């Protein structure tokens, strides 16, 4: 049994520990198997439980969650200097308490830990503060959904002759930033063989999420189409090595 940092307790071993998919990006949680229970008279048993993806507790920033939004306010431009709290010193609220109100106004605040959600490494061990590289003007990056609105068919958005990466993400998903940063670097380095299509799910209940991620245990969720314009594979979680492998294989199609 393991306790999620926000108090959820995993009471049984998820089924999908047993099942393996062809390309493995496995996180360790699945919303349906997470239940909140009290442990004896001793209060909560606290074990830190890390995952390589954003699992399915209530979407942060919604009334059901004491957690705020992961805004971009903790990402700084240029060279990033991390303080002893392992966040960019410029925006660390422990060093700069005058910034607290600003973060709270943006709903970027983790109540349980008293730091901005976008700096809470307890809730988001995958947080990265690397600024995204600047993309060239002709970078093939487009948003198909910015606010969780439905995209009925991915096939029509696949770009023939390129590997198309459909990225289902949410702003509160720290692991999603890893995939984003990785693909941005690939494109910024001049790789023209990749088309990147981004879709913001916003929350687990959005029309976009209902269509594509009801059976997906964690974000980011990535769908990859080969050069032939056909769907090749799907991945979830932030396993960058598996992503590279899948892209390389999709290039040969």
List interacting residues with Zn ion (CB under 5 A): 83, 85, 92, 94-95, 110, 113, 120, 122-123
Closer residue to Zn ion (CB): 83 or 159: 83
Give the nearer residue to Zn ion in terms of CB position, either 117 or 180: 117
95/182 with CB nearer Zn ion: 95
Q: What angle do CA 165, 171, 173 make, to 5 degrees?
A: 80
Would you say 122 or 142 has its CB closer to Zn ion?
122
CB of 110 to Zn ion, least distance (A): 3
Nearest to 55 by CA among 146, 131, 126: 126
Strands of the sheet containing 194-200, edge to edge, are: 141-145, 194-200, 163-169, 221-225, 231-236
To Zn ion, the closest distance from the beta carbon of 72 in angstroms equals 18
Report how far residue 62's alpha carbon sits from residue 84's, in angstroms, rounded to the nearest whole number. Answer: 30
Q: Which is nearer to Zn ion, 110 or 222 (CB)?
A: 110
Q: Minimal distance in Å, beta carbon 253 to Zn ion? A: 42
Report helix, strand or coil for 58: coil
Distance of CA 95 to the CA centre of its chain: 27
Dihedrals φ, ψ of 246, to 5°? -65, -40
CB of 117 vs Zn ion, minimal distance in Å: 7
CB 253 within 8 A of CB 226: yes
**Minimum CB distance to Zn ion smaller for 50 or for 143:** 50
Minimum separation from the CB atom of position 128 to Zn ion (A): 16
Question: Which single residue is written with the structure tokens 């720290």?
Answer: 174
The minimum distance between CB 94 and Zn ion, in angstroms, equals 5
Share of the chain residues as helix, strand and coil, in percent rounded to the nearest 5: 25, 15, 60
């Amino acid at each position: 049994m393991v306790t999620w940092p926000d108090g959820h307790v995993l009471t049984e071993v998820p089924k999908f520990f047993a099942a393996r998919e062809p390309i493995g990006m496995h996180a360790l949680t699945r919303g349906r198997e997470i239940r909140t229970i009290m442990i004896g008279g001793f209060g909560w048993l606290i074990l830190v439980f890390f995952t390589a993806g954003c699992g399915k507790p209530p979407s942060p920033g919604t009334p059901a969650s004491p957690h705020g939004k992961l805004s971009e306010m903790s990402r700084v431009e240029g060279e990033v200097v991390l303080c002893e709290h392992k966040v960019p010193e410029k925006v660390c609220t422990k060093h700069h308490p005058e910034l607290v109100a600003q973060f709270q106004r943006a709903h970027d605040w983790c109540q349980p830990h008293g730091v901005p959600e976008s700096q809470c490494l307890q809730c988001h061990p995958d947080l990265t503060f690397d600024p995204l590289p600047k993309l060239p003007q002709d970078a093939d990056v487009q948003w198909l959904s910015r606010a969780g609105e439905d995209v009925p068919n991915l096939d029509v958005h696949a770009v023939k002759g390129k590997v198309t990466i459909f990225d289902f993400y949410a702003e509160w998903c720290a692991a999603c930033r890893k995939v984003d940063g990785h693909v941005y670097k690939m494109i910024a380095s001049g790789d023209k063989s990749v088309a990147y299509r981004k879709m913001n799910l916003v929350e687990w209940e959005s029309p976009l999420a209902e269509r594509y991620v009801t059976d997906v245990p964690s974000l980011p969720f990535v769908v990859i189409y080969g050069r032939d314009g056909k769907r090749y594979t799907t991945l979830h979680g932030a396993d960058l090595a598996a992503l590279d492998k899948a892209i390389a294989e999709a290039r040969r199609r």
